[in-house]
Amino acid sequence: MSEDRHILITGGAGYIGSALTGSLLRRGNWVTVVDDLVFGGESLMAYLPHSQFYFMKGDVFEPGLITLAAREGEARGAPPISAVVHLAAISGFPVCKAVGREITWRTNVKGTERVFEQADELGVERFLFSSTYSVYGVVNDGELVSEESPLSPQSLYGESKIAAEEYLINVSQSSRCTPLIYRFATLYGPSPRMRFDLIINQFVMEAFTRGELVIYQRGYTRSFIHIRDLIEGIELGFNAPEELVRRQIYNLGHEDGNYTKDEIVALIKQKLPEIRVQHKDLAFDGDMRDVGVSYRKIQQRLGFKTRWTVENGIEEIIHILQTGLIKDPTSERYRNAEFIVP
């Protein structure tokens, strides 16, 4: 695919999508964003004057929405859509639990089916699907999980992502459009649609604004990736040879991003040494990930590398807070859910 390709992003006003939109436009691509704006659309305002950007409001479950967006793009002089990045989802276990199984399945599974069906009918070359390493759940043996490891989702969110993955794997046997499934690590770093309910962003914000961190599930290991590295991984997927991506699942991240919560706190304390840290036990019914992830497959097959470290991300968030770029980081507008356990 050339650099002036036309990419459609579902959920493009969100944390990942708004940052991806900017990156694609800077590289000369046409971008169409489809989003229902549950969390607002301010993250897209800076792109509106761009001649190669178009926004359409809508729910991915709506019949024909992607086809309509494609026609609108062509009417404005855009080339045919060459790739769809499907980010739209009810994301994370707290929100999925709050809205319930029916709505979660409608958006995360049936919505994925509808978007892919339209992409295939339109002749889109590639369909990038955002899954999650939450599907692995808790691993007790301390081994790094790979794409071949057993799945043990601990939440409705993880279950819905597995169902969508299975649909894409099955349909790709006969589809013209090639699906590529990425299981994202937990993100951190700045975005036009900033979030402070992601672990590293949240920890830094709370340490800076409160001078204190209260940590639960302290020994649990998570896997992290900077948002700009994730965007590089997504863009890498546009050009990867079809034989390396059709019916394939890739963990997207790097082994250097596997950290326990205590290790993350120690890195924050290096930058904010005055903070107080408390540890508490809590029986918690939610997305109980305790897992380190292997990323050997994406490194060896697609040549993916990361450039950003957790230390870089911590410094960025501290800079944002110190300079007042975000005046009220504790506001609910910077969260997808009301309650995230540190």
Query: If DSSP states are collapsed to H, E and C, what string results for 294-331?
Result: CCHHHHHHHCCCCCCCHHHHHHHHHHHHHHCCCCCCCC
Query: CA-to-CA distance for 158 and 181, rounded, in angstroms?
Result: 14
The dihedral region occupied by 134, where left means phi > 0, alpha psi between -120 and 50, and beta the remainder, is: alpha
What is the structure's pLDDT at 341? 36
In a domain, 298, yes or no: no
**196 plus 139 within the same structural domain:** no
**129 plus 210 within the same structural domain:** no
**145 plus 203 within the same structural domain:** no
In a domain, 297, yes or no: no
Query: CA-to-CA distance for 46 and 102, rounded, in angstroms?
Result: 35
In a domain, 117, yes or no: yes
**111 plus 214 within the same structural domain:** no
Q: Please name which of 12, 15, 20, 9 lies closest in space to residue 233, comparing C-alpha atoms.
A: 20
DSSP structure class, residue 97: H
Structural domain count, the chain: 2
Listed in sequence order, the residues at least 6 apart from 317 whose beta carbon sits closer than 8 Å to its beta carbon are 188, 189, 190, 200, 201, 204, 205, 208
**28 plus 72 within the same structural domain:** yes
In a domain, 299, yes or no: no
**101 plus 91 within the same structural domain:** yes
**193 plus 180 within the same structural domain:** no
**76 plus 207 within the same structural domain:** no
- As averages over each run of 10 residues, the pLDDT of the chain (342 residues) reads 82 97 97 95 97 96 95 93 96 79 89 97 97 87 90 90 97 96 97 96 96 82 96 97 95 96 95 91 59 96 97 97 96 74 36
What is the structure's pLDDT at 228? 98
Listed in sequence order, the residues at least 6 apart from 314 whose beta carbon sits closer than 8 Å to its beta carbon are 200, 204, 267, 268, 271
**244 plus 205 within the same structural domain:** no
**85 plus 208 within the same structural domain:** no
The DSSP bridge partners found for residue 54 are: 32
Radius of gyration of the chain (CA): 19
Query: CA-to-CA distance for 21 and 41, rounded, in angstroms?
Result: 13
Q: What is the largest CA-CA distance in the chain?
A: 59
**130 plus 87 within the same structural domain:** yes
In a domain, 168, yes or no: yes
- DSSP secondary structure string for all residues of 223-287: EEEEHHHHHHHHHHHHHS-HHHHTTEEEEES-GGGEEEHHHHHHHHHHHSTT-EEEE------S-
pLDDT 10s digits, 240-250: 999 999 999 99
Domain carrying residue 264: 189-223+255-291+307-334
Looking up residue 281, the CATH number of its domain turns out to be 3.90.25.10
User: From the CB of residue 3, how many other CB atoms can be counted at a distance below 10 Å?
Assistant: 11
**30 plus 79 within the same structural domain:** yes
In a domain, 231, yes or no: yes
In a domain, 341, yes or no: no
User: From the CB of residue 321, how many other CB atoms can be counted at a distance below 10 Å?
Assistant: 18
What is the structure's pLDDT at 282? 59
What is the structure's pLDDT at 285? 52
Asked if residue 10 lies in contact with residue 42, where contact means CB atoms within 8 angstroms, the answer is no
Q: What is the b/e burial string over 14-23, where b = at least 16 CB atoms within 10 angstroms of the residue's CB?
A: bbbbbbbbbb
pLDDT 10s digits, 284-342: 555 556 889 999 999 999 999 999 999 999 999 999 999 999 999 999 999 986 533 33
What token pair was written down for 342? 């540190």
Looking up residue 48, the CATH number of its domain turns out to be 3.40.50.720
In a domain, 314, yes or no: yes
What is the structure's pLDDT at 288? 58
Give the Cα-Cα-Cα angle 88, 83, 89 (nearest 5 degrees): 10
